[in-house]
Amino acid sequence: MRRTRTLTGLGVLAASLLALTACNSGTPGSPDAGSDGGSSDAPVYGAVATDVTIENSPTFDKIKAADKVVIGVKEDQPGLGYLDPVTGERKGFDVDVARWIAASLGYDPTDSSKVEYKAIASANREQAIINGDIDYYVGTYSITDKRKEQIAFAGPYFLTGQGLLVAADNDTITGKDSLTADTTVCSVTGSTPIQRIREETPAKVVEFDTYSQCVEKLKNGEVDAVTTDEAILLGYAAQDPDNLKIAGEPFSEERYGVGLAKGDTAFQEFVNTMFTDGGSTWEAIFEKNLGASGVKGEQPAVDPVS
């Protein structure tokens, strides 16, 4: 299966592998590696910034006091946020975006004493940010009004749409409208996609902490479909095309943002400016992680800070 579409500022990604209150005197510029799209250790995030200051940012003050950045991530999403169980290497578009932010803050993402990653389940993301367990979260985190009641978002930095993953020999499920009361759909607890299935279809739902658990249930025949953003599902389909496929077209627009502490507008503006000024870095990160899919990536404009 191979579908080619374009990711635009107002569109969705449907094929994948798978103003200023801050003063930054050293934001990484264009990366000098990673354009080959192949080397997983290429520093596509650019150089590590120096002499960074962000005035009136509690998050940045906390980072400076600890002399360490703590980032919330996913680690079971091929092409986006994945922890290789054999090598221990973190890979994916979201992981490299998280590294880009850390480098822009002046912290070397390759130094484990300065940059720590914490895998946070979808249902626990807001609380982890509120509690200060992490400094920011990058991991297929859809921007919603409900979430913005508790936290803030920088971005969006990526757009996609909700889809369905089914068994390769399943010809019954052809999209959201084909889901019936006899269909069982799996997704993760606390996710936007599982809420949409509940509200818009008669299907039964089951929930787990990770999408990889849902995919295993699908392979075992215990559920009929897995739902989440199609960018994530295509990563799983690409890993096992003989047994898995995407059913139908995406049926939503999901806007991925960087989750951070509510009220820290200085930090929010810092990250937004990094995205706005760093188009070549964004393109290199996209090409490295998702370019092999044949998708043409286009970086979306960030939302204004309110």
The mean pLDDT value for 270-294 works out to 88
Q: Quote the DSSP letter at residue 124.
A: G
What tokens appear for 214 in the block?
């849902």
| CB atoms closer than 10 angstroms to residue 302 | 21
Q: If we measure between CA atoms, which residue out of 263, 297, 62, 298 comes closest to residue 153?
A: 263
Determine the residue type at 305. V
Packing angle between helix 265-277 and helix 279-290, nearest 10 degrees?
80
Where does residue 124 fall: left (phi above 0), alpha (psi -120 to 50 degrees), or beta otherwise?
Answer: alpha
What tokens appear for 211 in the block?
């999408």
**238: confidence class by pLDDT, cuts 50, 70, 90:** confident
pTM: 0.76
Report the distance separating Cα 26 and Cα 295, nearest Å.
31
Looking at residue 303, its pLDDT comes to 97
Specify burial of residue 116 (Cβ count, 10 A radius: 0-12, 13-18, 19+). Answer: middle
- For residue 138, is pLDDT > 70? yes
The mean pLDDT value for 178-186 works out to 98
**How open is the CA angle 112-259-119, to the nearest 5 degrees?**
45
**169: confidence class by pLDDT, cuts 50, 70, 90:** very high
Report the distance separating Cα 284 and Cα 205, nearest Å.
38
| CB atoms closer than 10 angstroms to residue 295 | 21
Spatial contact of 170 and 249, defined as CB atoms under 8 Å apart: no
**231: confidence class by pLDDT, cuts 50, 70, 90:** confident
For CA atoms 267, 269, 275, 278, the dihedral sign is: negative
For CA atoms 172, 178, 184, 190, the dihedral sign is: positive
Please tell me the least confidently modeled range out of 26-30, 162-166, 172-176, 259-263: 26-30
Spatial contact of 73 and 91, defined as CB atoms under 8 Å apart: no
State percent of the chain over pLDDT 90.
Answer: 68
Q: If we measure between CA atoms, which residue out of 93, 246, 202 comes closest to residue 158?
A: 93
Mean pLDDT (the chain, rounded): 86
Each residue's pLDDT tens digit, 62-109: 999 999 999 999 998 888 999 999 999 999 999 999 999 999 999 999
> Hey, is 151 helix, strand or coil?
strand
Q: Which residue has the higher pLDDT, 79 or 158?
A: 158
Looking at residue 239, its pLDDT comes to 79
Packing angle between helix 93-104 and helix 279-290, nearest 10 degrees?
150
Whether the bond into 109 is cis, omega within 30 of 0: no
Bridge partner list, 228: 163
